[in-house]
Structure 1
Amino acid sequence: MRRKRSLLRMAAWLVFSISLVVLAYSTYQAVSAPLEAQQALRQWDELQRETEGGNAARTADENPLSPALVGNLRQMGSDGSSAAPARTAAKGELLGEIAFPSLDQRYAILEGTGSEPLKLGAGHYTGSPLPGEDGNSVLAGHRDTVFRNLGKLKAGDRIEVETTSGRYTYEVTGRRIVDESDADAVQDSAEPLLTLITCYPFTYVGPAPERLLLTAKLIEKAPDS
């Protein structure tokens, strides 16, 4: 009889111990599973950020103004002859700002079209006149930053440029999609024009093969007082 009671106690203890183990394991699963799921989600988010960052970096490394596009561009005077720039600026110099009223956006304009100026705003091509001067003033910008909405502008939209020399209003006259190696894409002009250039297509993954050129004519000029 005593042996039987001892066996029953051992069996009860064994059942109790197994129950504790099962309960502990269930509790562990209930706590760890959500944590593991959250960790996996964080890893996914991090991977997405790295991927997006990589795409952005690759896009930012593109130079919208390929040498071929402006290879034939010359500064011209009002009589159509070659002319020296009315004013020159140092590389990286802050020249002013460009605004797109219809988009409610404005960005800085800096001298040069290298990687550093284009990180901060629109870059002015040194071989072209400054905004507001006679001739074709060329500005370049990245398709994922300052010129990401350039494709939304249409003929008749205004572009406002302000520099230390004055305030200038341009009117969009047209747009073209050209190959990045098109040497005839950017033309000389004796009249004050503005040409904006960015890589195209906007959603292209990797270095884009084409360029969007938007042209505008000067319609109003207010010299700095």
Structure 2
Amino acid sequence: MRGKRSLLRMAAWLVFSGSLVVLAYSTYQAVRAPMEAHQALRQWDALKRETEGGSAARAADENPLSSAIAGKLQQTGGGGSPAAPARTAADGELLGEIAFPSLDQRYAILEGTGNEPLKLGAGHYTGSPLPGEDGNSVLAGHRDTVFRNLGKLKAGDRIEVETTSGRYTYEVTGRRIVDENDSDAVQASTEPLLTLITCYPFTYVGPAPERLLLTAKLIEEAPAT
């Protein structure tokens, strides 16, 4: 009997210890993600300071961009034809920042939509035009970090993007919720547009089955100083 009680106590202790480990890891991840995103933004601020007054220098789990959407984008890019973007960037390269004035939030933009870029900020889909260029520039972000408040933006709200090429102001024109397998969710364009993509619903537990797409048109631009 004493041996059975000892085994029960040991099993309870193992369960309790395992729960503590899971809780500690979840807390670590929740704290680390904002810190990493803030670090990328500090790097962008440092890059801006280094290039002020001179020529601009180039900085060397669940994916919002589903395989269906990404597959179609590989065929069309974001422009009106399969032509390559005017400029290209290396995967993980720090491109600039995106700001949402109505939300009082700003985040770094990095090249690529893989795990590493999306840990640090909004990821630019490689193959779509860069912000400010003609065509549909596509940015993806996680629903629990950089794009967690995307659903609060409404038509007419401003989105400000700054890169080493200039400053661009977009105006939100609409939003759509589509199935993650909707390959035609992102439409090609010959006009300078911005499409932001994140997983949806925001509170869904596990891999979300839908995507929220926010579209915006370019209304103002200024070259880099």
Which of 23, 31, 48 is the matching residue for 1:49? 23
Q: Secondary structure at the match of 1:107?
A: strand
- The equivalent of 2:207 in structure 1 is 207
Q: Which has the larger radius of gyration?
A: 1
Question: CA 1:211/1:54 → structure 2, altered by over 3 Å: closer, same or farther?
Answer: farther
Q: Structure 1 CA distance, aligned partners of 2:118 and 2:81?
A: 31
- The equivalent of 2:57 in structure 1 is none
Q: Structure 1 CA distance, aligned partners of 2:66 and 2:195?
A: 14
Shift of 1:53: 4.9
Q: Secondary structure at the match of 2:72?
A: coil
Q: Structure 1 CA distance, aligned partners of 2:108 and 2:222?
A: 19
- The equivalent of 1:9 in structure 2 is none
RMSD: 2.5
- The equivalent of 2:55 in structure 1 is none
Q: Structure 2 CA distance, aligned partners of 1:47 and 1:172?
A: 43
**Percent identity between the aligned chains?**
83
Question: CA 1:54/1:208 → structure 2, altered by over 3 Å: closer, same or farther?
Answer: farther
- The equivalent of 2:181 in structure 1 is 181
Q: Structure 2 CA distance, aligned partners of 1:76 and 1:105?
A: 26
TM-score normalised over the length of structure 2: 0.73
Q: What does residue range 124-135 of structure 1 map to in structure 2 within 5 Å?
A: 124-135=124-135
Q: What does residue range 1-225 of structure 1 map to in structure 2 within 5 Å?
A: 46=20, 49-50=23-24, 52-53=26-27, 61-73=61-73, 74-75=76-77, 80-225=80-225
Q: 1:95-116 deviations in whole A, cap 9, x for unaligned?
A: 0000000000000000000000
Q: Structure 1 CA distance, aligned partners of 2:145 and 2:115?
A: 13
Q: Structure 2 CA distance, aligned partners of 1:76 and 1:136?
A: 4
What amino acid is the match of 2:135?
Answer: G
Q: Structure 1 CA distance, aligned partners of 2:29 and 2:179?
A: 22
TM-score normalised over the length of structure 1: 0.73
Q: Secondary structure at the match of 2:116?
A: helix
Aligned residues of 1:99 and 1:160 also touching (Cα < 8 A) = yes
Question: CA 1:64/1:54 → structure 2, altered by over 3 Å: closer, same or farther?
Answer: farther
Aligned residues of 2:78 and 2:187 also touching (Cα < 8 A) = no
Aligned residues of 1:64 and 1:142 also touching (Cα < 8 A) = yes
Q: How many residues end up aligned between the 2 structures? A: 179
Q: 1:48-92 deviations in whole A, cap 9, x for unaligned?
A: 835855996xxxx10000121133332466xx4442210000000
Q: Secondary structure at the match of 1:62?
A: coil
Question: CA 1:206/1:53 → structure 2, altered by over 3 Å: closer, same or farther?
Answer: farther
Unaligned runs of 5+ in 2: 1-15, 31-60
Shift of 1:185: 0.3
Q: Structure 1 CA distance, aligned partners of 2:130 and 2:179?
A: 25
Q: Secondary structure at the match of 2:23?
A: helix
Q: Structure 1 CA distance, aligned partners of 2:199 and 2:90?
A: 25
